[in-house]
Structure 1
Amino acid sequence: MSETSQLQPARSEEKPVIGVVHLPPLPGSPRASLSMEQIIERAVSDARAYEAGGASALIVENYGDAPFRKDRVEPYTVAALALAVAAVRSAVSLPIGVNVLRNDAVAALSIAAVTGASFIRVNVHTGAMLTDQGIIEGRADETLRLRRLLGAPVEIWADVLVKHAAPLGPVSLEEAARDALERGLADALILTGSATGQPAAPEELRRLRALFPGVPIYVGSGVTPERVGAFLPAASGFIVGTWTKEEGIIENPVSPSRVEALVRAIKTAGRSSPGGNRARRV
């Protein structure tokens, strides 16, 4: 069991907030301008801000590297990400996740294994999606075999019909989720809206929760204090980046007070939501 077991809530209203550390453009990416020292300084600052505000875990991702490779990233990107993840993990006492955009699960898992991170996020774990990078195919077989080879206690959190993408054929939300869990052996699911900052659909979350009552399902985009109540008690937790930034602008630093406000809103909504006394595994 990985460190994400620390996210198990003591009470059902305690739904964890997982803060996203958006790295600036890394060396070699089209918009790179900062040194690794500057990148790490910013990443550590954001990580500490999340921790100060009450976040339960973090995901470190190469958000600034757009336009993204659709699968394998370059070795220098892996090296830069590994340095950043290691620095963040040393700076805070929270479980850490890794997301290598757009869909390099092998790199993410390798980084997690050597840095001691707890989980990875995989945008397309099973199936195939049409994206702005082209057609991305899931490689669950490679990811699971590598995890076994490395002996790494790293969880796989799989997006279901991920944002900024569309399935190649008529695939329902339920079918995609079932494939990720039963055929791709994902440890948790992530439900998003259509794009970064756009909200997921509460009705879709309720459908997934009805089908998979014991599976961790996280809301992965468009999370704000005003919206969280609609996702409770079905959500296992919330992955948030944009709203926690100063003035809600994604390029800005993380604001501890905004993180704290979101955590407080989730606790308040959890106490008042119907069925809020039923704890979910996270």
Structure 2
Amino acid sequence: MSLKLFDGAKPVIAALHLPDFALNRHRSVAWYEDYAVANARVFAQAGIPWIKLQDQTKTAGAAASDTLALMSAIGRLIRAEVPGLGLGIIVEAHDPVAAMSVAHATGADFVRLKVFVGGAMTAQGPRDGLGAETVSYRAMLRRPDIAILADVHDRTAIPLSGESQPFAANWAAKSGADGLVITGSSFSDTLARIDAVRGKGIHKPILIGGGVTDGNVAEAMAAGDGVVVSSALMRRDAAPEDLLQWDADLCSRFMDAVRVPA
């Protein structure tokens, strides 16, 4: 099965973070829709080809039913209003069935999962790898076209087992991940980690999951198979209640830098 995410040029993915649903009950569904579409258009107009719609509703358990409903509604609206953008999904809950369900409902092209293999201690408690559940649920949906991006030793968590990052990357590759996400404590650390994984003969696409700026993106694209970016493109003067959180000029400059050979 050909995966759209990896069919063309190395993907540049902008993470569109949604305000925590549980902490923003005063926000209407219409507000979230306006927020998502306005920022998605900023990315599209700058030439960014992909977005990752990112739920930030923190929970120790499965995703809440309203999270699934809102993510699905917002994702479908983005597809309708900004049809040129490729779409991916991530949910904050450790719930790959939720992420895959939203991707299925919205016609998204990929999901990102933070703990796919092994185990990790997170701010919400310990989490075990759910790669097998993810792959089997995708098969049940008959959606092999939805790519699975698996973080390998996500930097926001602490591994609970002693395997090396290359060993964990091999686990993820053999467990059904279509692409790997690697992010170190610094940009140079990220590059070293990618080299270590590649040195063990792992050939799955590797995306850099953070720390990418217009100053290093050309090097990042040369070292990896794609990048995820968000914070570097945000408005510095935005208030929390502003609909527009990402800066059109920063987005355009970032894409200009993407096109410069390393």
Q: Considering the TM-score relative to the shorter chain, is it more than 0.5?
A: yes
Counterpart of 1:61 in structure 2 is 54
1:137 corresponding residue in structure 2: 128
Would you say 1:21 and 2:16 are equivalent positions? yes
Question: 1:32: how far off?
Answer: 3.3
Identity over aligned pairs, percent: 27
Q: Work out the CA distance in 2 between the residues paired with 1:111 and 1:85.
A: 8
Deviations 1:49-73 (A, max 9, x none): 111111121100112x2xx124411
Give the counterpart letter for 1:74 in structure 2: A
Whole-Å separation in 1 of the counterparts to 2:76 and 2:221 = 33
What residue ranges of structure 1 are gaps of 5+ in the alignment? 10-14, 274-282
Q: How far is 1:267 from its partner?
A: 1.8
Tell me, yes or no, if the aligned pair for 1:130 and 1:167 is still in contact at 8 Å.
Answer: yes
- Tell me, yes or no, if the aligned pair for 1:245 and 1:255 is still in contact at 8 Å: yes
Aligned: 1:267 with 2:235? no
The structure-2 alpha-carbon separation of the partners of 1:221 and 1:94, relative to structure 1 and needing over 3 Å to count, comes to: same
| 8 Å contact kept, 1:246–1:255 | yes
Which residue of structure 1 lines up, in the alignment, with residue 184 of structure 2? Answer: 193
Counterpart of 2:96 (choices 105, 115, 125) is 105
1:163 Cα deviation from its structure 2 partner:
2.2
- List alignment gaps of at least 5 residues for structure 2: none
Q: Which has the bigger relative contact order, CA under 8 A and spacing at least 6?
A: 1
Q: By how many angstroms is 1:77 displaced?
A: 1.0
Q: CA–CA distance in 2 between the matches of 1:165 and 1:25?
A: 20
1:45 corresponds to which residue?
A: 38
Shift of 1:214: 3.7
Cα distance between partner residues in 2 of 1:3 and 1:248? 35
Aligned partners of 1:242 and 1:250 also within 8 Å? no
> What is the CA–CA distance in structure 2 between the aligned matches of 1:203 and 1:248, rounded to whole Å?
34
Provide the C-alpha distance between the structure 1 equivalents of 2:239 and 2:225, rounded to a whole number of angstroms.
24
In the alignment, the residues of structure 1 paired with residue 201 and residue 118 of structure 2 have an alpha-carbon distance, to the nearest angstrom, of: 19
1:83 counterpart residue number: 73
Distance in structure 2 (CA, Å) of the matches to 1:210 and 1:267: 27
Secondary structure at 1:221 match in 2: coil
**Deviates further, 87-96 or 128-137:** 87-96
Shift of residue 266, structure 1, vs aligned partner: 2.1
Structure 2 vs 1, CA of residues 232 and 147 (structure 1 numbering), >3 Å: closer, same or farther?
closer
Specify the alignment match of 2:63 in structure 1: 73
Q: How far is 1:22 from its partner?
A: 0.7
Equivalent residue letter for 1:161: H
Whole-angstrom distance in 1 between the partners of 2:227 and 2:233: 12
* Superposed displacement of residue 249, structure 1: 7.0
SS at match of 1:33: coil
What SS does the aligned partner of 1:246 have? coil
- Which residue does 1:12 correspond to in 2? none
Count of matched residue pairs: 255
After TM superposition, the runs of 4+ consecutive aligned structure 1 residues lying more than 4 A away are 248-252
* One-letter amino acid matched to 1:187: D
